[in-house]
Structure 1
Amino acid sequence: MRKLALNDEILMKIEKPARYIGGEVNSVYKDKESVDIRFAMCFPDVYEIGMSHLGMKILYDMFNRRDDVWCERVFSPWIDLDKMMKEEKIPLFALESQEPVRDFDFLGITIQYEMCYTNILQILELSGIPFDATDRTWEDPIVIGGGPCVYNPEPLADFFDLFYIGEGETVYDRLFDVYKEIRRRGGSRKEFLEAAAEIEGIYVPAFYEVTYQEDGTIQDFYPVNVHAKPVITKQVVMNMDEITYPEKPVVPFIKVTQDRVVLEIMRGCIRGCRFCQAGMIYRPTRERSVEQLKKYAYSMLKSTGHEEISLSSLSSSDYSQLKELVEFLIEEFQGKGINISLPSLRIDAFSLDVMEKVQDIRKSSLTFAPEAGSQRMRNVINKGLTEEMILEGAGEAFEGGWNKVKLYFMLGLPSETEEDMKAIPELADKIARRYYEIPKDQRNGKCQITTSTSFFIPKPFTPFQWAKMYTNEEYIAKAAVVKHAFQEQLNRKSLKYHWHDAEVTVLEGVLARGDRRVGRVIREAYRLGCLYDSWGDLFDNDKWMQAFEDTGVDIGFYNLRERSLDETFPWDFIDIGVTKQFLKKEWERAVNAQVTPNCRMQCSGCGVAKWKGGVCIEGKN
């Protein structure tokens, strides 16, 4: 029987002790003496969030299929246990073995969003691992980062030994084999890092140097070790049916954010929205076969006991076999007490028909994401939606029985005017008006239109990576314009309006496009007590502002200037397939409010043709 890392006295004092005891259904146990590599797979947020992450489930399953690797899970302790562990000097431990993370060969951290950066330092501190990668020895695990945030790893460069750029199924096996060989022959830690640097997709920050110009922009970024490559190419899986998928995912003891079976139907997106980083970094589009997905649906429901299936992709409506898959799921499982969740669908006749079959219309709401209120702004961001399409979709939904709609928009987009901002409540009002055009005896009570705005954040590898941001006060003023305009609408009693926290937006903007100098701000913020910054009630903007002041790093340099087209970015050494020339062309088209057709309509020559097998093959449809 396993000995728990936390005693009964501590478990009785903390919130949700089931977060820390392991032993869940389908978790993997091995004899540590019979494996060559122990891998601690970490999600730097609370258990309920991390256990919902598909990428972590995929790698956990993939690694544990190797006889010579034992992969275990690690999450950020919640603030109550964090305090106790520091006071009692309890080292951070993995759930399966309950043994200290520092005893592992690898600590792999998936970095999904910028606001978890201080949690990464929490993980390192509680594990007893030096913050600076250059201070580590073979007594410490190799700390490796992956996930969407590593497409600009520079703010975290000091804290990681390696970054894995791309999809995990491609070169991890080679990395493990290299590690085993070097440890077998007694090689040094530096030898391993040099060997790793020669593997495609692996970036070793310690092997690179940065110089800056007088204005603070990057002058040069270059390797200082012969084993390091000047360009790191992202790794891509081309045939989705040739890779493994977790048919027996771990089943949590407690309710988590995504408490369901998840079928990943495709990767990538054809749409080309200019604000969307995922739509660029995950190109090209690649699909799983419908036959394989049917098999996974059966096996995962059987192995987990879950009562819901969800389809995972950036744009489910673009999956070419969606109709066949959805009809199969409805026919096979709905009558057996299994709910079917269909996120990321465009609201068209087929989608509404499907949702009508799988949802309780009286309880559910429909989600539209126009992103911008005016047609000009939707053209700027290349959303590919007209007002006519939005109102037609809403009208069909209302006539089908729905009366609740959620609308998502962004404020602070490039070239936005006050007229564009006021167009958001005007569009919400037009949607409400469309509902009240239905004869009264055919309506389902009053309609509820809930509108939310987030503040736009330019991300690396998007056409908007050159865009400027705004100050906290300017964002609040934009939200005030929208709020006031909502109060002037004819159907205002049917309309609700919420907006995102501007302070978090400002900080996320710096972390998203920052360089290595931002790392000292993260370190100082953590020293001041910042943790769980993505949790609204725990975010402390004053401490972050103090960290910027203490380190002399200027927020305005990163957020308040439009970058020149010839500026060298901190992430320019990464090749995601989509070329910088294409992004520049899209930025110029955005300035002129020109729409670019989606990839299935017309190839725009973005550059991902070098990976054959996706939508784009040698620049042709």
Structure 2
Amino acid sequence: MRKLALSDEILLKIDKPARYIGGEVNSVVKDAAKVDIRFAMCFPDVYEIGMSHLGIQILYDMFNRRDDVWCERVYSPWPDLNQIMKDEELPLFALESQDPIKDFDFLGITIQYEMCYTNILQILDLGQIPIFSRDRNEYDPIVIGGGPCTYNPEPLADFFDLFYIGDGETVYDELLNAYKINKKAGGTRYDFLLAAAQIKGIYVPAFYNTTYKKDGTIDAFSPNTDKVPDRIEKQIAMNLSDMPYPKKPVVPFIKATQDRVVIEIQRGCIRGCRFCQAGMLYRPLRERTCDELVEMAKILLDHTGHEEISLSSLSSSDYRRLSELVSKLIDICNERGVNISLPSLRIDAFSLDVMSKVQDIKKSSLTFAPEAGSQRLRDVINKGLTEDEILTGAEEAFQGGWNKVKLYFMLGLPTETTEDIKGIAWLCQKIAERYYELPKEQRNGKCQITASSSFFVPKPFTPFQWAPMNTKEEFLSKARIVKDEVRSQINQKSIRYHYHEADVTLLEGVLARGDRRLCPVILRAYQNGALFDSWSDFFKHTYWEEAFKECHIDPDFYSIRERGTDEVLPWDFINIGVSKEFMIREWNQAKKEKVTPNCRIQCSGCGARCYHGGVCYEG
């Protein structure tokens, strides 16, 4: 019988002990003595969140297909167990073997969100792994970072041995093989890191230096050895059908956030929203075939027992064979009593027609993201969605039996005016009017419109990466304007309005565009008590406020300051395939309120079409 790392006494004291015991359906157990590499794959958040992440499931499956590798999982212990492990000096362990992660060859951490940065330090701290990469010896794991936040890895540079830039399916095998070769040859940790730096897409921070000007901006970023490249090239999996995909994903014992089969129908996006980092990072668009997706659905349902399928994509409406795919999946799902979930749909007739096929019986709420309240501001951000399309789409949804609509907006966008802000309330009112203008027999009870606004964060590798953020006071003032304007609408009882926390947003903005000088701030915040910052119940702004003061760093330098397009940015050394010239052109187009057509209408010359031979559109 497998021995658990936690005693029964501890398991009885903590919330949801099933988070830590492993042994789930489809989890992989191997003989540690018969593998060459042990890899701990980490999601730095609670188990239920981490178990819902498709990327980890893909890499977990891909690594474990190799006979010489055993990949296990590790997640952030919840605060109750975190305290017990610190008090009793218990080392953090992997779920499958329950062995301490400090004894593994690799610790791979996926970095999906800036507000998980202190959780990364928790993993290292509880894992009894030196927090700074420079302090690790030959017996410590190689700590790797991957995921969207690694496209500006600099705020975390001191904590990681290397970062993997690009799709995980591309060069991991090459990296693991290099580790085996170095180990067999008796090479040192330094030897391996140097070899890793020769692999495209691998960034080793220790081999690069940053110098600064008197005004605090970057003067130069360059290698400190001629044995590593000047720029890091993002790696792309061009043919998704050739890439591994888990046929037997791990099924948790407890309910995860996304408790369903997830099928990635495509990767990338054609839309070009100027605020959207994912839309730029994951260019060019790459689709899976319809037949492949149908076969995947059958296999995954057989091996998981889930009762829902979700079609994953940045913009599901843009999958060219979506209607055909949904029709085929309906046949499969009806036989098994399985539901189909279609996130990321646009508010248009095509999407509503597809949605109606999967929601004939129960009309749940529809979710759309106009992003801005006025047409002028939607043009600035290149949303590619007109007010007429929004209102017509809402009306057709109401005629189809829906009466609940969720709308997502952003406040603090570049060039925003008071009229744009009030436009959020006005748009909600116009949508409500479309509902109540219907004949009474066509209505399905009272109309419910839930509008929520996040606050704009300029992200690296977007046309808005040079834009200033609002201050906390400006964000909250704008939210109050929307709230007051909603209350003045005739159909105010049908409209609910919520907004995000301004403190969290500002910190996210600092970390998103920060440089290496933030490493001691993150450490200090963690030492002050910052943990699970993405959770409202645990976020304490004072921990970070004190950390910035103690490290003599002004967060406003990273948040509310506008950058010039000639400034050296901390992430400029990474080539994602989308050119900086294109970003500058789009930044200028935004100021002129000009729309750039999507990639299927016209190639905008962003560079991704040519990068690795990708094709973004059909001419």
User: TM-score normalized by structure 2?
Assistant: 0.99
Asked if 1:39 corresponds to 2:39, the answer is yes
Given that residues 362 and 401 in structure 1 are in contact (C-alpha distance below 8 angstroms), is that contact kept between their aligned partners in structure 2? Answer: no
Which residue pairs with 1:138 in the alignment? Answer: 138
CA distance in 1, matches of 2:402, 2:493: 18
Which residue pairs with 1:565 in the alignment? Answer: 565
CA shift digits 1:115-173 (9 cap, x unpaired): 00000000000111111101111110000000000000000000000000000111000
Asked if 1:168 corresponds to 2:162, the answer is no
CA distance in 2, matches of 1:313, 1:568: 32
CA distance in 2, matches of 1:332, 1:93: 40
Cα drift, residue 360 of structure 1: 6.2
Given that residues 362 and 402 in structure 1 are in contact (C-alpha distance below 8 angstroms), is that contact kept between their aligned partners in structure 2? Answer: no
Residue segments in structure 2 that go unaligned for 5+ positions in a row: none
Amino acid aligned to 1:187: G
The aligned runs of 1:367-382 (5 Å cut-off) are 367-382=367-382
Cα drift, residue 307 of structure 1: 0.8
Which residue pairs with 2:246 in the alignment? Answer: 246
Asked if 1:124 corresponds to 2:124, the answer is yes
CA distance in 2, matches of 1:221, 1:360: 57
Which residue pairs with 1:496 in the alignment? Answer: 496
Given that residues 178 and 192 in structure 1 are in contact (C-alpha distance below 8 angstroms), is that contact kept between their aligned partners in structure 2? Answer: yes
Cα drift, residue 366 of structure 1: 0.6
Which residue pairs with 1:433 in the alignment? Answer: 433
CA shift digits 1:250-269 (9 cap, x unpaired): 00000000001111010000
Given that residues 38 and 69 in structure 2 are in contact (C-alpha distance below 8 angstroms), is that contact kept between their aligned partners in structure 1? Answer: yes
Cα drift, residue 102 of structure 1: 0.4
CA shift digits 1:75-116 (9 cap, x unpaired): 000000000001111100000000000000000000000000
Given that residues 93 and 99 in structure 1 are in contact (C-alpha distance below 8 angstroms), is that contact kept between their aligned partners in structure 2? Answer: yes
Cα drift, residue 613 of structure 1: 5.2
Cα drift, residue 616 of structure 1: 3.1
CA shift digits 1:316-361 (9 cap, x unpaired): 1111111111000012212421001011111323322332232266
Given that residues 363 and 401 in structure 2 are in contact (C-alpha distance below 8 angstroms), is that contact kept between their aligned partners in structure 1? Answer: no
CA shift digits 1:197-235 (9 cap, x unpaired): 000000000100000000000000000022221100000
Which residue pairs with 2:265 in the alignment? Answer: 265
Given that residues 102 and 128 in structure 1 are in contact (C-alpha distance below 8 angstroms), is that contact kept between their aligned partners in structure 2? Answer: yes
Which residue pairs with 1:72 in the alignment? Answer: 72
The aligned runs of 1:348-497 (5 Å cut-off) are 348-359=348-359, 364-497=364-497
Which residue pairs with 1:204 in the alignment? Answer: 204
CA shift digits 1:388-417 (9 cap, x unpaired): 000000000001111100010000000101
Amino acid aligned to 2:471: T
Amino acid aligned to 2:190: K
CA distance in 2, matches of 1:110, 1:132: 18
The aligned runs of 1:573-592 (5 Å cut-off) are 573-592=573-592
CA shift digits 1:348-394 (9 cap, x unpaired): 23322332232266551011100000000000000000000000000
CA shift digits 1:20-69 (9 cap, x unpaired): 00000000011101100000000000000000000000000000000000
CA shift digits 1:263-285 (9 cap, x unpaired): 10100000000000000000000
CA distance in 2, matches of 1:613, 1:520: 41
Any idea what SS the aligned residue of 1:59 has?
A: helix
Any idea what SS the aligned residue of 1:406 has?
A: strand
- Number of residue equivalences: 619
The aligned runs of 1:208-247 (5 Å cut-off) are 208-247=208-247
CA distance in 2, matches of 1:117, 1:250: 25
CA distance in 1, matches of 2:168, 2:549: 38
Any idea what SS the aligned residue of 1:608 has?
A: coil
The percentage of aligned residue pairs carrying the same residue is 68
CA distance in 2, matches of 1:335, 1:404: 28
Q: 1:128 to 1:613 in 2, by over 3 A?
A: same
Given that residues 348 and 390 in structure 2 are in contact (C-alpha distance below 8 angstroms), is that contact kept between their aligned partners in structure 1? Answer: no
Given that residues 565 and 584 in structure 2 are in contact (C-alpha distance below 8 angstroms), is that contact kept between their aligned partners in structure 1? Answer: yes
CA distance in 2, matches of 1:523, 1:599: 42
Which residue pairs with 1:342 in the alignment? Answer: 342
CA distance in 2, matches of 1:170, 1:297: 24
Which residue pairs with 2:327 in the alignment? Answer: 327
CA shift digits 1:458-488 (9 cap, x unpaired): 0000000000012111111111111111111
Given that residues 361 and 402 in structure 1 are in contact (C-alpha distance below 8 angstroms), is that contact kept between their aligned partners in structure 2? Answer: no
CA distance in 1, matches of 2:527, 2:372: 39
Given that residues 345 and 368 in structure 2 are in contact (C-alpha distance below 8 angstroms), is that contact kept between their aligned partners in structure 1? Answer: no
CA distance in 1, matches of 2:178, 2:465: 36
CA distance in 1, matches of 2:382, 2:215: 33
CA distance in 1, matches of 2:8, 2:192: 41
Amino acid aligned to 1:247: K
CA distance in 1, matches of 2:86, 2:332: 51
Which residue pairs with 1:255 in the alignment? Answer: 255
Cα drift, residue 612 of structure 1: 4.8
Given that residues 113 and 149 in structure 1 are in contact (C-alpha distance below 8 angstroms), is that contact kept between their aligned partners in structure 2? Answer: yes
Q: 1:438 to 1:335 in 2, by over 3 A?
A: farther
Which residue pairs with 1:112 in the alignment? Answer: 112
CA shift digits 1:425-473 (9 cap, x unpaired): 0000000000001011221111001100000000000000000012111
The aligned runs of 1:512-591 (5 Å cut-off) are 512-591=512-591
Cα drift, residue 490 of structure 1: 1.2
Asked if 1:183 corresponds to 2:183, the answer is yes
Amino acid aligned to 1:401: G
Given that residues 167 and 237 in structure 1 are in contact (C-alpha distance below 8 angstroms), is that contact kept between their aligned partners in structure 2? Answer: yes
Which residue pairs with 1:291 in the alignment? Answer: 291
Any idea what SS the aligned residue of 1:600 has?
A: coil
Given that residues 45 and 76 in structure 1 are in contact (C-alpha distance below 8 angstroms), is that contact kept between their aligned partners in structure 2? Answer: yes
CA distance in 1, matches of 2:606, 2:546: 41
Given that residues 410 and 453 in structure 1 are in contact (C-alpha distance below 8 angstroms), is that contact kept between their aligned partners in structure 2? Answer: yes
Any idea what SS the aligned residue of 2:395 has?
A: helix
Given that residues 347 and 389 in structure 2 are in contact (C-alpha distance below 8 angstroms), is that contact kept between their aligned partners in structure 1? Answer: no
Asked if 1:14 corresponds to 2:14, the answer is yes
Which residue pairs with 2:609 in the alignment? Answer: 609
Amino acid aligned to 1:315: S
Q: 1:361 to 1:427 in 2, by over 3 A?
A: farther
CA distance in 2, matches of 1:372, 1:563: 23
Cα drift, residue 287 of structure 1: 0.7
CA shift digits 1:548-569 (9 cap, x unpaired): 1111110111111111110000
Cα drift, residue 542 of structure 1: 1.0
User: TM-score normalized by structure 1?
Assistant: 0.99
Given that residues 334 and 340 in structure 1 are in contact (C-alpha distance below 8 angstroms), is that contact kept between their aligned partners in structure 2? Answer: no
Cα drift, residue 522 of structure 1: 0.3
CA distance in 1, matches of 2:595, 2:482: 25
CA distance in 1, matches of 2:253, 2:615: 40
Cα drift, residue 611 of structure 1: 3.1
Asked if 1:192 corresponds to 2:185, the answer is no
Amino acid aligned to 2:212: Y
CA distance in 2, matches of 1:333, 1:46: 31
CA distance in 2, matches of 1:612, 1:216: 36
Any idea what SS the aligned residue of 2:609 has?
A: helix
Which residue pairs with 1:86 in the alignment? Answer: 86
Given that residues 271 and 599 in structure 2 are in contact (C-alpha distance below 8 angstroms), is that contact kept between their aligned partners in structure 1? Answer: yes
Residue segments in structure 1 that go unaligned for 5+ positions in a row: none
